[in-house]
């Protein structure tokens, strides 16, 4: 696999204007899979008609699926979205593009409010330029009982005025805020976010079943990495997981890396929520696509050993080193999920949540030419973003 050379800002070069036709693959569409297919691309978009003299790319024996969309990602390639320069962030973005993620939301972690506001300013510029799809604030409005890899001393209650500071700092590019909605101000902040078109996500929470239902009724629509950083299901205290799985208004994030979830838990979520309500995410940190070693996640030190990230102090899981191509392959080959269901969870569903399904999330005429080529074992062989090969399957 040969990555496309980077432009001056670290992103792929602009799409070529020469039309292309991808032939012979099993093409996954919203209506089902078409075998021995033909997909026409002109410039940056998928088209309904083939252009004469188009370049024909033979991908027979492969799968063609939409580019992956990651709602929850803290970095990769040795670079962090929570700290560092613009070039560092672009390095992380490009690392994930090489693994099929053509659209991602950059996630922060708990930090000082002023620093988070500064970070939002930097990331908002990248969102305005189209490098990222927006910003996800994970913390500081979370429960100290379920803090995971977040600094407890920097946590605070989700008072609406505080939440509003971060939303304003993002200058219209905030896409999601993770909240422990049972804390003081939680429900009012959910309502505030809904009013501003920002996803309110329930996570890092110690809420009861009843408190979770109240948050959903107030406007929460996402479960941040379901099963992780929340009370587990009890037969007398069903807790947040039960409420989140049973309500059709909630999309549940799942980290399918083999560490955060047992395959049976993943299958349980797909069974109860249905494929239309699952979003596969990475929750990746700097080490994704890079390697073992010591890293910083916000102000906390992390040790990555054999691909598993844990806090140096306390040993809590600290994000993941997952990339979405691995999540896709595992979902099909280990978890036994239908390819069409995995495509929905890794592309269409997150695109809908972001309000971007008119442009991305499926391989239909008029949409961006964002796609991934997988071999018969679902290993990544090619990546296209907006008509330009990030990884050309003919060169690999």
- Largest Cα–Cα separation, the chain: 66
- Sign of the CA dihedral 202, 207, 209, 213? negative
Catalytic site residue 375? no
Torsion of Cα atoms, 336 then 340 then 342 then 348, to 10°: -170
Q: Which of 283, 325, 370, 392 is catalytic?
A: 283
Between CA 389 and CA 357 the distance in angstroms is 21
Are the C-beta atoms of 166 and 179 separated by less than 8 Å? no
Please identify every residue annotated as catalytic: 283
């Amino acid at each position: 696999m040969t990555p496309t050379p980077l432009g001056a800002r670290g992103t792929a070069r602009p799409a070529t204007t020469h039309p292309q036709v991808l032939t012979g693959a099993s093409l996954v569409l919203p209506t089902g899979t078409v075998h021995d297919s033909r997909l026409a691309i002109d410039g940056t978009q998928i088209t309904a008609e083939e252009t004469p003299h188009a370049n024909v790319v033979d991908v027979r024996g492969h799968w063609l699926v939409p580019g992956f969309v990651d709602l929850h990602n803290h970095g990769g390639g040795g670079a962090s979205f929570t700290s560092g320069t613009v070039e560092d962030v672009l390095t992380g973005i490009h690392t994930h593009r090489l693994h099929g993620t053509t659209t991602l939301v950059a996630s922060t972690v708990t930090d000082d409010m002023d620093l988070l506001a500064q970070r939002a300013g930097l990331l908002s510029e990248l969102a305005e330029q189209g490098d990222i799809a927006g910003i996800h604030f994970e913390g500081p409005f979370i429960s100290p009982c379920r803090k995971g890899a977040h600094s407890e001393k920097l946590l605070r209650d989700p008072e609406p005025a505080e939440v509003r500071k971060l939303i304003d700092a993002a200058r219209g590019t905030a896409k999601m805020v993770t909240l422990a909605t049972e804390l003081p101000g939680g429900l009012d902040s959910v309502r505030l976010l809904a009013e501003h078109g920002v996803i309110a996500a329930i996570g890092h929470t110690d809420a009861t079943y009843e408190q979770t239902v109240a948050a959903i009724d107030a406007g929460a629509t996402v479960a941040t990495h379901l099963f992780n950083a929340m009370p587990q299901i009890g037969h007398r205290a069903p807790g947040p997981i039960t409420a989140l799985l049973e309500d059709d208004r909630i999309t549940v994030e799942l980290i399918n890396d083999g560490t955060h979830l047992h395959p049976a838990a993943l299958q349980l979520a797909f069974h109860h929520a249905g494929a239309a309500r699952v979003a596969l995410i990475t929750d990746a940190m700097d080490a994704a696509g890079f390697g073992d070693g010591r890293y910083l996640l916000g102000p906390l030190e992390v040790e990555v050993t054999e691909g598993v990230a844990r806090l140096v102090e306390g040993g809590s899981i600290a994000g993941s080193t997952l990339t979405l191509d691995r999540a896709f392959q595992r979902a099909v080959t280990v978890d036994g999920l239908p390819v069409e269901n995995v495509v929905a969870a890794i592309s269409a569903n997150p695109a809908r949540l972001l309000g971007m399904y008119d442009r991305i999330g499926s391989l239909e005429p008029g949409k961006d030419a964002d796609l991934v080529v997988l071999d018969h074992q679902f290993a990544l062989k090619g990546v296209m973003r907006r008509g330009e090969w990030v990884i050309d399957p003919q060169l690999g």
